[in-house]
Chain A
Amino acid sequence: MKSTFKAALAGLVTSTAMLSAAYAEDIKVGMLLPYSGVYAALGQDIDDAFALGLETYGADSGVTFEIVREDDEVKPPVGLAKTKKLILQDEVDVMVGVVSSGVLGAIRDTVDGAGVPLIVANAGNDEATGEQCSPFITRVSFSNSQVNRPMGKWMVDQGVKKVFTIAPDYAAGRQMIDAFTTAFTAAGGEVVGQEWPAFQKTQDFGPYLANAKASGADAVYVFFAGGEAISFVKQYDSFGLQAEMPLYGSGFLTSALYVEAEGPAAEGVITALHYVPTLDNPENAAFVEAFKAKTGRIPSEYAVQGYDSARALVEAVKAGATDRETLAAALPKVAFTGPRGELRIDPATNNIVQPIHVYETVAGPEGLTQKVLATLPAEADPANGCEMPVATN
């Protein structure tokens, strides 16, 4: 009964559309982001930049985008419930978002089973585009391995032979560091020691820093994010270690989002990331200016992920996609040059392929800024056990 009614309605809509050729198509977007909880600031950056991306690229697509926002509270069960609501009740055409890898893991099967395309705008766990890959999940942000792997060879090339690594003891910390150490040792470097402080339970890194100091390493390579990154960078500097053992790491350590809170302690720290706001290209200049005008903030890597999620969606629509099925097919085929440089999606895993930028945090006229030292060429992640099935709705 309901379906006949729908079919009738669809028929009516089609005939109306045929009558007026300019009739706008509607794409319903379900945004699943943490609007509260520890990652709320990240969610806000993604949301603001996504809206900006739709304004910038979507205006001439002939389609109106309707956004339904849901707060996953960084809790996997909440994320799952909100995903079901978006899919079943709101009947969205496409989902965008997911900051936490835990939430992504929880909603993966539901999204995959329902055949709803999901544009991952942050969550970087390797499995999502590895053994857990899905034809419906396209990641435009990064993978944990991707941002750390290129640093292995680059640091050896810079003459760093012995490193000590420190990262929080959880899946992302392990993936980030393991990707780095694998590449580092393959290039001829030596890992002289490793520490894995308990995740979100460690506020004082003093004991680990003393171990690093005693290890005789040339440098220390770390991954920390958020509050832990601030504590770590400040404590590293307070022990006066930066002079004898320079600090390197995954670029989240000195993210533009909170580098100001780290203050002068962050000066001279060298890290690698897929985006920094000081990248010198016309797309980025336009993006930074527009984002600043809209929000008053400097865009972070999270913001660019939101912006590019919108761009990817618009490109898919421009390629003719109109519903869940066609969007899922079109999203992995998008490729464009954005603020981060040349981007494409790897069809083998549906993960983004992008250049990685090595940058040093330096003092500028308006506070701390990022000086790009090198841009390492884009490299697709290994399939990691991903056997991409054919999309079936």
Chain B
Amino acid sequence: MTTDLGFWVLQTLNALQLSMLLFLLSVGLTVIFGLMHFVNLAHGSLYAFGAYVAATLAETLGYWGGFVLAPLAVAALGAVLYFTLIRSQRRAGPMAQVLVTFGLIFVAVDATRLIWGDLPIGIAVPALLDGQIALLGVEYPVYRLFIIALGLAVLAVLTLILTRTQIGAMIRAGVDNDQMAACLGINVERMFFLVFVVGCALAGLAGAVAAPVLSVTPDMGLQILIPTLIVIVIGGLGSLKGAVAGALIFGFVQTFGAVLLPTLSSVLIYALLAAVLVTRPEGLLPAKG
């Protein structure tokens, strides 16, 4: 089994697919944290909300309607959250933030139950991406390749924005030292809002992309939260590179752990997390030097 090349290709693609899904989720969370020093534990709930919106819209507008509109809907929800809760909690310290956003998780879970019911929802893979494709000697689902490609595309766009544009420079300055950035005339508050909303949109996008592969359930946001937090802690808070590295490490350890060391698979990633925290408490690729 393990000498078969096809097996390794298949599992590598599985690992990449999981990594990219986690990347979409963690990049928003990590940049929000890096820039605003705000711990948004409800990030997973935004992902669940995105999946539900996508599943609902898929019935009337088809998959692509949900794919486009779900991130926008989640961004709008993010904007509402920002003005009602996040902004006032900005200076309240991490404990208050954790409690408020942790409470939001439960509100979100029950709200989804009230609106969409308890039964899991499933949506079909769009016809365009249905079926399998032969790749390096294995048959692989096209939709999973699409997730990998989408993750890479988002990564490329974000890298471009952060390193090559003025707004990117401003964000990096804000992550580095927000007070100094404000002194230099950058409207840090507006930038926070922008980054928060974009982070929410990416969570919504992750939800929309995950919906056809997974089932859409009220507690999906809670299930994804721990992996997302592990990714950003391993990768290093606040950095794009850290989110990529963390997501890749999580995806590969989880996938290969599950198939090669099944008895240890659920422990492996936590052991790795502990090792990183002991040796490099800032994470592997932290934003600040």
Contact code string A192-225 (vs B, CB < 8 Å = 1, else 0)? 0001111011111011101101110000000000
Question: Which of B4, B119, B213 is A234 in contact with, Cβ under 8 Å?
Answer: B213
New contact pairs (13) apart from A203-B224, A206-B14, A214-B7, CB-CB < 8 Å = A39-B118, A40-B113, A41-B117, A202-B258, A203-B210, A206-B17, A215-B1, A227-B220, A228-B215, A231-B213, A240-B139, A260-B122, A262-B122
A24 at the interface (CB under 8 A from B): no
A41 to B120, CA, bound (A): 10
Q: Which residues of B line the A interface, CB within 8 A?
A: 1, 4, 7, 10-11, 14, 17-18, 113, 117-122, 124-125, 131-132, 139-141, 143-144, 210, 212-215, 217-220, 223-224, 255-256, 258-259, 262, 265-266
- Report chain B residues within 8 Å CB of A238: 125, 132, 141, 143-144, 213
Contact between B132 and A258, CB atoms less than 8 A apart: no
Partner of A207, one of B113, B121, B141, B255: B255
The answer to whether B213 and A210 have CB atoms under 8 Å apart is no
Can you offer 13 A-B residue contacts whose CB atoms are under 8 A?
A40-B113, A201-B223, A206-B14, A207-B256, A208-B258, A210-B11, A226-B215, A226-B217, A231-B214, A234-B215, A235-B213, A238-B213, A240-B132
Interface residues in A, total, Cβ within 8 A: 41
Query: Could you say which residues of chain B place their CB within 8 Å of the CB of A257?
Result: 119
- How close is A195's CB to chain B, nearest CB, in angstroms? 7
Q: A263-B124, A264-B124 are in contact. Are A210 and B119 (CB under 8 A)?
A: no
Name which of A195, A196, A206 has the most chain B CB atoms within 10 A of its CB.
Answer: A206
4 closest A-B pairs by beta carbon, nearest first, are: A261-B122, A230-B215, A206-B14, A227-B217
Residues of chain B with a CB closer than 8 A to A41's CB: 117-119
Q: Which residues of A contact B141 (CB under 8 A)?
A: 238-240
User: Closest CB of chain B to A31's CB: distance in Å?
Assistant: 17
Q: Which residue of A38, A202, A231, A264 is within 8 Å of B215 (Cβ)? A: A231
> Across the interface, which residues of B come within 8 angstroms of A196, CB to CB?
262
**Complex contact B1–A211 (CB within 8 A):** yes
Question: Of all chain A residues, which has the CB nearest B122?
Answer: A261
Contact of A258 with B120 in the complex, beta carbons under 8 Å: yes
- For the complex, give the distance between the alpha carbons of A40 and B141 in Å: 34
Residue of B nearest to A233 (CB): B122
Which B residues lie within 8 Å of A201 (CB)?
223, 266
- A231, A238, A262: most-surrounded residue (chain B CB, <10 A): A238
| Residues from chain B with Cβ under 8 Å of A264 in the complex | 124
Q: B63 CB to closest chain A CB, in angstroms? A: 12
Q: Given contacts A41-B119, A207-B14, is CB(A239)–CB(B139) below 8 Å?
A: yes
**Complex: how many Å from CA A238 to CA B125?**
9
Q: Are A38 and B118 in contact (CB under 8 A)?
A: yes
- A234–B223 CA distance with the chains assembled, in angstroms: 19
User: Which residue in chain B gives the minimum CB-CB distance to A199?
Assistant: B266
Residues in B neighbouring A262, C-beta threshold 8 A = 122
Asked if residues B144 and A206 are in contact (CB atoms below 8 Å), the reply is yes
C-alpha gap A262/B17 in the complex (Å): 21
With both beta carbons as reference points, the residue of chain B lying nearest to A197 in the complex is identified as B258
Interchain CA distance A213-B259 in the complex, whole Å: 12
List the A residue with the shortest CB-CB distance to B125.
A238
Q: Across the interface, which residues of A come within 8 angstroms of B119, CB to CB? A: 41, 257-258, 261
Compute how far the CA of A116 lies from the CA of B259 in the bound complex, rounded to whole angstroms: 47
In whole angstroms, how far apart are the Cα atoms of A41 and B117 in the complex? 8
Among B11, B120, B144, contact of A230 (Cβ-Cβ < 8 Å): B120
Chain B min CB distance to A46 (Å): 13
B128 to chain A, nearest CB (A): 14
Q: Which residue of A lies closest to B55 (CB)?
A: A261
- For B140, the chain A residues whose CB sits under 8 A away are 239
- CB pair A200–B215 under 8 Å, yes or no, is no
CB within 8 Å of B: which A223-270 residues: 226-231, 234-235, 238-240, 257-258, 260-264
Query: In the complex, what distance in Å separates the CA atom of A195 from the CA atom of B1?
Result: 15
Chain A residues near B4 (CB, 8 Å)?
A: 214
Closest-CB distance, A42 to chain B (whole angstroms): 9
Q: Is the CB of A263 within 8 A of B214?
A: no
The CA-CA distance from A214 to B9 in the complex, in Å, is 12
- Cβ A203 vs Cβ B118 within 8 A: no
Set of chain A residues within 8 Å of B224, measured between Cβ atoms: 203
Do B265 and A198 touch (CB < 8 A)?
A: yes
Q: Cβ of A231: which chain B residues have Cβ within 8 Å of it?
A: 213-215
- Whether A214 contacts B1 by the Cβ 8 Å rule is yes
Question: With A238-B141, A258-B119 known to touch, is A208 a contact of B124 (CB < 8 Å)?
Answer: no
Q: Which residue of A lies closest to B258 (CB)?
A: A207
Q: Least Cβ distance of B131 to chain A in Å?
A: 7
**Within 8 Å CB of A210, what residues of B?**
7, 10-11, 14, 259
Bound CA–CA A206/B14 (angstroms): 6
Complex contact B120–A227 (CB within 8 A): yes
Whether the Cβ atoms of B1 and A198 lie closer than 8 Å is no
Q: Enumerate chain B residues within 8 angstroms of A203, measured Cβ to Cβ.
A: 210, 214, 220, 223-224
Q: Closest approach, in angstroms, between the C-beta of A213 and any C-beta of chain B?
A: 8
Give min CB distance, A260 to chain B, whole Å.
8
What residues of chain B lie closer than 8 Å to A211, measured between beta carbons? 1, 259
B120 touches A204 (CB 8 A): no
Min distance, Cβ B25 to any Cβ of chain A, angstroms: 12
Residues from chain B with Cβ under 8 Å of A240 in the complex: 131-132, 139, 141
A200, A208, A229: the one contacting B223 at CB < 8 Å is A200
Determine the chain A residues whose CB is within 8 A of the CB of B132 once the complex forms: 238-240
Complex Cα distance A66/B10, Å? 58
A361 to chain B, nearest CB (A): 14
Type the 1/0 row for A138-169, where 1 means its CB is closer than 8 Å to any CB of B: 00000000000000000000000000000000
Chain B residue at minimal CB-CB distance from A34 = B118
Q: Could you tell me if A195 and B262 are in contact, using CB atoms closer than 8 angstroms?
A: yes
CA distance A207 to B214 in the complex (A): 14
